[in-house]
Structure 1
Amino acid sequence: MLLALAAGFSSFAAPSWWASCIDMSPNYSGSLSGLMNTCANVAGGIAPIMTAHLATAFGWTTALDVAALVSFSGGVIWLAVDASDNIETDAEYRLREVGAI
């Protein structure tokens, strides 16, 4: 029951992920969102395989502890993201240097 509630409440954070992509890189938000989504889907494909292996080798407690550690680590890394700092491409940087933008 608690696991289902945790999964449900975690979806409340999803709008902020997509908004951060738009905020950090307005010109390339689609590419950034695609990269973020690709990484999440790759992790979603690897997670069941790893969870089954960990549960078989060490038990379910260890498997769920590793999942919690990965989730917590992701939250800590997310706190380090500064969405107010825009991502610039090399071309944009060069144009700013010469005063064209």
Structure 2
Amino acid sequence: MPEITRDQVAHLARLAHIQMSDEELATVSGELEQILGHVSAVQAAAGADVPPTSHPIAMSNVFREDVPAGMLTQEQAVDQAPDAQDGQFKVPAILDGE
């Protein structure tokens, strides 16, 4: 595996408009080297017979028919409202104008 150099990290930092000190560049280059080592280990563990996945457990959506049931009447809906007018909830105005 190729080594990540300080100059490569400095170049990436310039492209991303990130200011980094010499100490930060050295630290990040070492951290990136470790990350690439871990990625290589994972790539080596996954063989051709292992399909790529986004989650370790197979997932599927469970859909149900959308059937309305147990609806409130308009009177029941506004019955416990702190303020109602003409069968509608009445709330304080938050916008000026119309």
Q: TM-score range by the shorter chain?
A: 0.3 to 0.5
**Normalised TM-score (structure 2):** 0.33
Q: Bigger radius of gyration, 1 or 2?
A: 2
Whose RCO is larger (CA < 8 A, sep 6+)?
1
Q: What's the TM-score, normalizing by structure 1?
A: 0.32
